[in-house]
Amino acid sequence: MSDSFKAYVLREDDNRKVTGAFEQVATADLPEGDVTVRVAYTTVNYKDGMVMNGIGRLVRSYPHVPGVDFSGTVEASTHAGLAPGDPVVLTGWRVGETRWGGYGELARVPGEFLVRLPDGLTLARAMALGTAGFTAGLAVDTLEAAGMRPDGGEVLVTGASGGVGSVAVALLAAKGYTVVASTGRAETHDYLKGLGAAAIVDRAELAEPPKRPLASERFQAAVDNVGGSTLANLLTQIAYGGAVAAVGLTGGNEVTTTVLPFLLRGVSLLGIDSVMCPKDRRERVWQTIASTLPMDKLDSVSHTHGFDELPVLGRAILKGEVRGRAVVSFEAPRSRGASG
């Protein structure tokens, strides 16, 4: 193992301003953990953009290497279940926040944080999924456990052109569901239909606070990336016994609603937490995604970038300028897809 590695390092000055730069970091400075991974790919999530730009005080100790997701091969291990050369993927566990993450050529974590790369996935495609794809898979798994089925009616995905939404649309369509995608970006309609969306609902139709406590029953279930008024509105349109998986809050974290959808229609509001999800469920959901999601659809929602593009991507994702999934390679990108 080399004595140092390249990483994108954040530092905080006396005025609490956070800045980032590429640096050579001593391997000895890696955090404690029983597995060291040679990182091949990482990605940029909205949370990464916040961390890179010092928003939300998610990081409490500097210097810090961000990156909440990574994939690569085990470089060294004292963990019983992992050996050098094993391909692995990491999402969650507050890596990239409370401990150093994947924006470096090396990462060190507890072995229990790592999932062995499922058959059918490459390291690049694992990062085309990342936290967003895993969250989408977890949402679909949760809704199916609550009774959602392919012949049960339409399933709505809000914020459909983002990372979680894109994978949710493609995964649901691959499973045989009739998917309705909600977006405010007209230029993404063809993109979403290509992923399998049967219909498009303009974001504005759901963004206003609901006018009545119950509207006509339309959707058997929904994957909601937005929260706020959108979540309040769609709760009124969920059919009897249906459910909503809440995965995001781009439209706000406060929801003003009534209990009537819950009391009169038996609707369930299900929270999705992908960060601390137990490892056994992680492995099952990753396997389901790998065996179900069409890889050509995954490639169509991803675009590959070089490691030096991280700062630009970190700013762009906060502005809503990143469509689908940004895969970051520690080698020069070979193509726009993530099949390598």
Question: In sequence order, which ranges of the chain are alpha helices (DSSP H)?
Answer: 46-52, 123-145, 163-174, 189-195, 203-207, 228-235, 260-265, 279-292, 295-300, 310-318
Tokens 């790919």 locate to 41
pLDDT at 335 over 50: no
Instruction: Calculate the average pLDDT of the chain.
Output: 94
The pLDDT value recorded for residue 340 is 57
Mean pLDDT, range 107-115, rounded to an integer: 98
User: Which residue in this structure is represented by tokens 């994978």?
Assistant: 167
C-beta neighbour count of 191 within 10 angstroms: 20
Does residue 164 register a pLDDT over 70? yes
The dihedral region occupied by 93, where left means phi > 0, alpha psi between -120 and 50, and beta the remainder, is left
End-to-end Cα spacing for the chain: 24
Average of per-residue pLDDT across 154-169: 94
Q: Is residue 338's pLDDT more than 80?
A: no
Angle of helix 163-174 relative to helix 123-145, nearest 10 degrees, comes to 70
State pTM to two decimals. Answer: 0.92
Q: Which CATH number fits domain 131-271: 3.40.50.720, 3.40.50.150, 3.30.420.40, 3.60.15.10?
A: 3.40.50.720
Asked if the model's pLDDT at residue 336 lies above 60, the reply is: no
- The burial of 263, by beta-carbon neighbours within 10 Å (0-12 exposed, 13-18 middle, 19 or more buried), is given as exposed
According to DSSP, the residues that pair with 306 across neighbouring strands are 329
The pLDDT of residue 300 is 86
Contact in structure between 54 and 17 (CB atoms under 8 Å)? yes
Q: Summarize pLDDT for 170-179 with one digit per residue, the tens.
A: 999 999 999 9
pLDDT tens by residue, 8-58: 999 999 999 999 999 999 999 999 999 999 999 999 998 999 999 999 999
- The torsion region of residue 141 among left (phi > 0), alpha (psi -120 to 50) and beta comes to alpha
pLDDT tens-digit map of 312-323? 999 999 988 887
CATH topology of domain 4-117+301-329: Quinone Oxidoreductase; Chain A, domain 1 (3.90.180)
Q: Where are the domains of the chain?
A: 4-117+301-329, 131-271
Is the CB of residue 208 less than 8 Å from the CB of residue 192? no
Mean of the pLDDT values across residues 163-171? Answer: 93
Q: Which residues sit opposite 329 in a β-bridge? A: 41, 306
Q: Is 137 a residue whose pLDDT tops 70? A: yes
pLDDT digits (tens, 9 = 90+) for 180-205: 999 998 999 999 999 999 999 999 99
User: What are the φ/ψ torsions at residue 35 (nearest 5 degrees)?
Assistant: -135, 130
CA distance 97 to 199: 38
Confidence at 2, pLDDT banded by 50, 70, 90: confident
